[in-house]
Amino acid sequence: MTTTEAFLAASFPGSTVTSIEPLAGGHSSHTVIARLDGGPVERVVVKAGAVGRPPVGRHDVLRQARIFEVLGGAEGVKVPQVLASDVGDPNQFAMSFAPGDCVEPVLDGTGDLDAVTVDARARAAARMLGALHLVPVDGGALAGVEPSAVEDELARWAAVLRVVDQSLVAGWENLFTELERTIPRSPRTCIVHGDYRLGNMLFDGVEPTAIVDWEIWSLTDPRVDLGWTLLFCDSTAFPGVAVPAPGMPTSADFLEEYESVAGPVDELAWFMAFGCFKTAAIMSHNLKRHREGRYDDPYQERLPPTIAEMIRRGRDAWSHL
């Protein structure tokens, strides 16, 4: 019996696991979908950390379960329901299965989705991001979670950029200096997903059913999410990897939908530049891991033009600040 089967047997007494299949996802945790016979639900999704590795950072999957419990029932926000959890080795939890498909139009293409559906999904995602950023964070459910200041977020990704191939990220230090020099004041702190985009959401038609992939959530300035997400409205930001995405709204349209829920946003240009900085860090780090043989993903070799474009866009943003 695998650790997943044992966990499910203990969590849902009287049920029988009839199948377990992997779900596509990141490399930081193991995610499967299990079918149960005789259980309270027919299907559950199980996310588990790595066996033998301390539950720290991305491998602390119960930290993701915690944010699902906080957001469960929040108005306008859809996340899976936590059904069971286990603090053993590996740490893991079972969550409700959310129906739907997951498509990142700018990077994956729109597939069978028409332009009207793409537009509707993006606008729904914008409104849900606004709702997410309005969820109160001063309750006991988040006690002990230290907020991350914007300067901490900046330092986090600068540390990543210092250890990647410097030929890929020429000019990042100048961008960092300007970002550090002009950090805006944060008027409030909220729950930030960290990688909010259509590719991390499930939709049933045009209705969102769940926001997924919460590995890097934090409590920080809401514009950290917004500046990142708006990049995915523009296919020209991703040379070498982007594809046509008919129906994808402009960043201005996305922002308008967001503000209809969360209210006006100011000093967004800084956070757009920071989104470029963060994207360059994440992509160059992923390429580094691929080239070091930590995992095999030839797609990563297509990233250098986008990495360079992100640094360029970030530096150009100063004309708007």
pLDDT in tens, 180-236: 999 999 989 999 999 999 999 999 999 999 999 999 999 999 999 999 999 999 999
Please tell me the predicted confidence (pLDDT) of residue 57. 73
Asked whether the beta carbons of 195 and 318 are under 8 A apart, the reply is no
Please tell me the predicted confidence (pLDDT) of residue 319. 57
Asked whether the beta carbons of 107 and 238 are under 8 A apart, the reply is yes
Q: What is the 3-state secondary structure (H, E, C) of 88-135?
A: CCCCEEEEECCCCECCCHHHHCCCCCCHHHHHHHHHHHHHHHHHHCCC
- Tens of pLDDT along the chain (321 residues) come to 688 999 999 999 999 999 999 886 544 458 999 999 998 999 999 999 988 888 877 778 999 999 999 999 899 999 999 999 999 999 999 999 999 999 999 999 999 999 999 999 999 999 999 999 999 998 788 988 999 999 999 999 999 999 999 999 999 999 999 999 999 999 899 999 999 999 999 999 999 999 999 999 999 999 999 999 999 999 999 999 999 899 999 999 999 999 999 999 999 999 999 999 999 999 999 999 999 999 899 999 999 999 999 999 999 986 554
Please tell me the predicted confidence (pLDDT) of residue 26. 45
Please tell me the predicted confidence (pLDDT) of residue 28. 47
Please tell me the predicted confidence (pLDDT) of residue 54. 83
Please tell me the predicted confidence (pLDDT) of residue 29. 56
Quick check: helix, strand or coil at residue 240? Answer: coil
Domains of the chain, earliest start first: 3-96 (3.30.200.20), 105-320 (3.90.1200.10)
- Please tell me the distance from the alpha carbon of residue 27 to that of residue 294, in angstroms, as a whole number: 10
